[in-house]
Structure 1
C-alpha cells in the first residue's frame, strides 16, 4: 500500500498539459490564463496628469516665475500641444496628456486663477515631475505584463481589458463524468427509509467541480448490481475525467475495481495509507483519461478529492507551487495510527492560528461544516503539541497561486 506522498507522486506522473481555448474577457473569471501577456504599447502611453491643475516647465519655477499665463486648457483625450514658451502654462485635467516640454503639474488647490488669464502658484515647494505619470513608467511596449499560469481573478480583469485582451487564452478544462453508487443511496428529495441515506456525495462532487469550472457531461447514480454498474461506468468513461464514488472497498458489493479492469482501465494504485480515504483507487485508460474512484463516506469523498483530484488538476494547469502551507495549530492533537491523517481545521477566533474539533469518523456529514482547510498529521508523529506548525491545505483551489 502506498504512502500519501508516494500516491501523490504517482498522480503527478499522470499530469498532462491541457489544451488552450480563447474565451471572451467577460467569461474568463476564475479561468486559468494559459499564456503570458505582453504590453502592446507603453503604459502610460504618454506623460499623464495625475491631478487637475496646470502644467509648467520646472526651469521656469527655478528661474523665479510664480505667475504663469494660461495658454490653453487640455482635457483627457485631447491631442497634446507640443510647445510651451517661458512663463506659460496649460490648464490640465486629470488623465490628460501633458505637453512634452512641460514636466511638472501644480494641483489646482495650490493655485489662484486670476481675471487676467493667469495662474498664481501659492506653494513654496515644487519638485520636478510631481503629479505627473511618466510615459512607460508602468510598462514598456513588449514588456511582460502578466505571467502564466495565473487565475483570472477580479483584480486581473481590468488589467487584461486595459491591455486590449478581449479574447483570453485559458486552459480548457477536462470534461467530467460522475457516477455515484450504492443500493442504500436515494435522491435527496426522497424520504429515505430507516436503512437508506440521501445522495449527498453527488452534490458534494458537483460543487467541487463547479469550483474548478469543470464541465459536467454526465452524472448518474447506479445500484451495486454489476451489470448496471458496468453500463454506467462505460458511459462515464466517454469523458476525460471520471469521478466514481463508492464501491471501492473490500466488501461483497464493491465491484468497481473489477469492472474498471474489464473496461480496460489500468490501475495506477488502489488503497493509500491515509485516514480517511484509504480505499481510494486511481486508474487510467490508454487514451489518457483518468479515473478517480473515491470512497463512499462523505468525509473520505471530500478529502480524497481535495488531496488527489485537485493535485492532478493543479499540475495539468501548470502550477508548481506547494499546495500545503505551514500554519500554527493552537490546540494539541494526538493519533494512534501509523497513517497520515487528514482533518478539518478552523481558524482560531481569538488568536492567530488554527484549531480542530473531534468528529465521528468519515461518515460524519457535518465534520467539514465551517472549516477553513485540511490539516495534515504526518504518519511518523503521534503528537502535535499546542502551537506546533503543521501543513494545511486551503479549501480554495487557487490559494497561494501567483
Structure 2
C-alpha cells in the first residue's frame, strides 16, 4: 500500500519520533511511501542486461524441444539391461542436430552424442566410459551401471511452452540474457531507466580542477553517488555543486523535480547548519527530517518535492563521505529499486566471527567498515579497519565489507559472531 502523504504513513506508527527514528522504522516509512514508476519500453535482448522486466516472459517453445541425451554414449531401451551384462548391436549414430530416424529393435542400440535427440523407443543412455568391448558394430554393457531413464533430458524439462520463463520485476543478468536467446526471443519489455538527479550543497565544496581555497575541500560525495547510481543502472543527471543560497538551491531543486524521478543531495540536512537546504526542501514539498538511531549517518531527509506539475522523491543524505554511502545503501538503494519495479530482496548478510572486541551501546544501529579474511584453519573472520570516523573515506576504500551491529545489540567480544554485508558486487 502506498500513502498520499508522509503523515498518513507515520500516523500508523504509535512510537514515531522524528528525532529518534530506528533504522527499521525509517526503512518501513520509505517502503510504504515509495511507488514504482509506470513506464515501459522494448529493447533488444543484448541491450537488456541489468534492466528490469516489465512483464512476465512466457516461453514460446519447450526447452529442450525433444528428449535428448545428457551424455556421449549409447541410447537403448532400459528393458535391455534386465538380464545383467548385455551385448548390443549398434545400428546407427545420433549427433546433435542430426537425429537417428531408423528403428531400434530388440538387442540393438544407437551411438549417441550429448544433446542429440533420443531415437524413437529409447529411454536410457549408457555413458561410453561405462561400456566394454566397444567396436563400430557392437558394444557390451556391464550389469548395474545405469538404471532405466538415466542420462536422458526430457522434453520441456527446463522450460515448458506456455509457462513463465522469467517473472516481471526480475533484474536481467547474463544467464537471463542467454535464457531469452535460447527461446528465440529478440526483444523484451523493460521498465524505463530511473532518472536520478543529484548534487552536493555547501560553499566550502570545490569541483575537481578548481583551486582549493583555505577551508575548502574537493567534493567527493558526488563521485561516490555517481558510482553507486551507475551500479543500479540509473539514468544520471549530475547537477554539480550548488551554492548555499536560496536562489541557487530553489533553481536546483526545481530543475531536478522537472527532469528526474528522484533527487539525491548530500549535505545541508543537519539541524543548525549554516545553509538553506532544509528550508528549501520543506518549502517545496512533503519532507520529513530525521535523526536516525544509527552511526554513521544520523541526519537524513526523505519525502517528495514538487515544481509545477512535476514531482520527485527526495533523499537528503548527510555530508560526511562515509555517511553518504551508508545511508544510500541502507535507505536509498532499496527505495530506488522499488521505483524501478525490481523485485529486490533485502541485502544479504553473512554471519562470521569477529577477530576483536567491538564497543557498542544498545539503542542504535552501527555500520562499521570491515575486512573479511580467513584464519589459519580456513574459517572466515572479520576485523574493523580502525578509526570509524564518518569522514574517513579511505576506510571504505580499504574495507571489503560492512559489519552490521543491530539496534538492540550491545558490545561484541573477540570470537563472537557478527553480521557482515559484503561489498563485492555492491560498491
* Alignment TM-score, normalising by the size of structure 1: 0.86
CA-CA distance at 1:284 after TM superposition: 0.2
**Closer, same or farther: CA 74–5 of 1 in aligned 2, 3 Å:** closer
Once the two structures are superposed, the pairs formed by residues 152-301 of structure 1 within 5 Å of their partners are 152-238=172-258, 239-251=260-272, 253-262=274-283, 264-285=284-305, 289-301=312-324
Q: 1:80 to 1:289 in 2, by over 3 A?
A: farther
Q: Distance in 1 between matches of 2:330 and 2:116?
A: 52
Distance 1:37 1:175 in 2: 25
Is the CA contact (8 Å cut-off) linking 2:320 and 2:390 kept in structure 1?
yes
Aligned to 2:4: none
Which residue does the alignment assign to 2:148?
Answer: 128
> How many Å separate the matches in 2 of 1:13 and 1:103?
54
Aligned position for 1:9: 28
Moved more, 6-15 or 35-44: 35-44
Distance 2:162 2:329 in 1: 39
The C-alpha deviation readout for 1:170-228, integer Å capped at 9, x for no partner, is 33332011111222111223342342211111100000000101100343212212222
Between the aligned partners of 1:336 and 1:129, the Cα distance in structure 2 is 61
Asked whether the equivalents of residues 244 and 293 of structure 1 are also in contact (C-alpha less than 8 Å), the reply is: yes
Q: How many residues align?
A: 395
136 and 369 in structure 1: CA distance in 2 versus 1, 3 angstrom threshold: same
Q: 2: CA distance between counterparts of 1:379 and 1:102? A: 62
Which residue of 2 is the match for residue 325 of structure 1? 349
Query: What SS class does the counterpart of residue 323 from structure 1 fall into?
Result: coil
Corresponding residue for residue 101 of structure 1:
121
**What residue in structure 2 maps to residue 342 of structure 1?**
367
Cα RMSD, aligned residues only: 3.0
Q: Shift in Å at residue 359 of structure 1?
A: 1.9
The 1-side partners of 2:407 and 2:99 are apart by 69
For structure 2, which runs of at least 5 residues remain unmatched after alignment? Answer: 1-18
Equivalent residues in 2 for 1:47-126, closer than 5 Å: 47-62=67-82, 66-70=87-91, 72-81=92-101, 83-109=103-129, 110=131, 112=133, 114=135, 118-121=137-140, 123-125=142-144
Separation in 2, partners of 1:200, 1:398: 19
1:288–1:45 CA distance, 2 compared to 1 (3 A): same
Match status 1:359 vs 2:387: yes
Provide the rounded CA distance (Å) in 2 between the counterparts of 1:278 and 1:332: 24
Within a 5 Å distance, the mapping from 1:383-398 to structure 2 comes to 383-395=411-423
1:49-79 CA-partner distances (Å, limit 9, x unpaired): 2333433334445478614152x33322235
Deviation of the 1:382 alpha carbon = 4.0
SS in 2 for 1:334: coil
- Checking the alignment, whether the CA contact within 8 Å between 1:47 and 1:100 is kept in structure 2 is no
Change (3 A) 1:108 1:367: closer
1:27-62 C-alpha deviation (Å, 9 max, x unpaired)? 222333444444433332212123334333344454
Inter-CA distance 82–325: structure 2 relative to 1 (3 Å threshold): same
- Partners of 1:180 and 1:256 in 2: CA distance: 10
Deviates more, 1:314-323 or 1:277-286: 314-323
Once residues 349 and 75 of structure 1 are traced to their aligned partners in structure 2, the CA distance between those partners, rounded to angstroms, is 47
Bigger mean CA offset, 238-247 vs 138-147: 138-147
Give the drift of 1:16. 1.3
Deviates more, 1:121-130 or 1:294-303: 121-130
Structure 1, unaligned runs of 5 or more: none
Contact 1:31 1:151 in 2 (8 A): yes
* Alignment check: 8 A CA contact 1:326 1:389 kept: no
1:122: how far off?
5.5
1:302 to 316, 325, 329: 325
